[in-house]
Amino acid sequence: MAEAVLSVGVVAKRCGVKVSTLHFYEQQGLIQSWRNAGNQRRFKPEVLRRISVIKAAQKVGVSLEEIKQAFLSLPNNRTPTLEDWQLLSKNWQRMLDGRIAYLQTLRNNLTGCIGCGCLSMSQCPLYNPDDTLGASGTGPVILEHAEQEASGIQCKN
């Protein structure tokens, strides 16, 4: 029995993406195709699941690079199985929890000190005299520590 093959148009239509998106995903190493005797791109049916995983992950804020790294962790670059998807989504959930915590901290401190060291605020509820927080790291230290704590990363201080 011959293996089912799908044209680029069929894959694009079934997945709800543009053909150019499929070309881009292929250039990024996220999906694979081959050329038939007529030099037309062909895909295995499993590509539908890979594209669905890509779209689902992107929808919740996972970058293409993070998706690519997750796919590379699969044996022989296979299409994610149900078990693979559960593991990938669990890892992405932890990452997203950290991002959500960071955004909540940012939202809650939009009018207050974020520990960036600018010392421009005359009233700072999280007072940072002489940029003492600068010893803890660079950038908005308070926000970054909140993000690290939410994602389980140990802070430097």
* Candidates 3.40.50.2300, 1.10.1660.10, 3.60.15.10, 3.30.450.90; CATH matching 1-80: 1.10.1660.10
Helices (H), 16-130: 19-27, 47-59, 64-72, 82-108
**pLDDT, block means (10 residues), the chain with 157 residues:** 80 95 95 91 92 90 91 84 86 88 79 64 56 72 68 48
Domain coordinates in residue numbering, the chain: 1-80, 94-157
pLDDT computed for residue 15 by the predictor: 94
Calpha distance 50→66 (Å, rounded): 14
pLDDT computed for residue 154 by the predictor: 47
| Residue range 3-43, pLDDT digits in tens | 679 999 999 999 999 999 999 999 999 999 999 999 999 99
What one-letter code names the amino acid at 35? R
